[in-house]
Amino acid sequence: MVLRYANQNTARTSIDAIGRHLLIEMKGCTNLNDKDVIREMLKSAVDACKATLIGVEVHGFNPHGVSGIAIIGESHLSIHTWPEFGYAAVDIFTCGSRVNPYDALPVFKETLKPKEVSVIEIRRGLLSEEEKK
C-alpha cells in the first residue's frame, strides 16, 4: 500500500480556519459496488471522527458505481466510486476544532483496502489574526 499525505494528522488547539477538507484518492480498491457496505462505512467513519450524524444517503448506478454522502453537524463525508477502475474519490469536510477528519480515514482504508492512497488537506475559510479572536 502506497500512502502519500500532503499534510500531517495534527490535533488543533486553536482555530486558524473554519474547516478542514480532505480530498482523498483511493486506487486499487475493493467493495466499490456494494451500497450497503458503503452506507455502513460512512456511518462508521462518522463515529470514528466523533462527528454528529444527521443522515446518510447512498445511490447505486447502473451498471456499476456508488455515490454516498453522510451529512454531519460539522459538514459532510462523501464518496464516489468507479468499480471498473478500482477507484474511489472521498471527501471529508469538517468544521470547528472538535472533529479531526483524519480519524475517519482508517475506516475507509479498512473497508476499501486500497493499494494506493493520497490525501490533500485544504483549510477552508482561513481566518486572519483579528478573526481568530
What amino acid occupies position 122? I
The catalytic position among 21, 49, 75, 76 is 75
pLDDT of residue 52: 96
Label residue 12 by pLDDT band (50, 70, 90): very low
Mean pLDDT, the chain, whole residue set: 89
- How would CATH label the architecture of 2-7+19-124? 4-Layer Sandwich (3.60)
Inter-residue contact 12 to 102 (CB < 8 Å):
no
Rounded to whole angstroms, the Cα distance separating 132 from 32 reads 41
pLDDT digits (tens, 9 = 90+) for 41-68: 999 999 999 999 999 999 999 999 999 9
The catalytic position among 44, 80, 97, 118 is 80
Rounded to whole angstroms, the Cα distance separating 49 from 88 reads 20
For the chain, the domains span 2-7+19-124
pLDDT of residue 17: 78
Query: Catalytic site residue 75?
Result: yes
Query: Catalytic site residue 80?
Result: yes
Label residue 37 by pLDDT band (50, 70, 90): very high
pLDDT of residue 13: 44
Query: Catalytic site residue 21?
Result: no
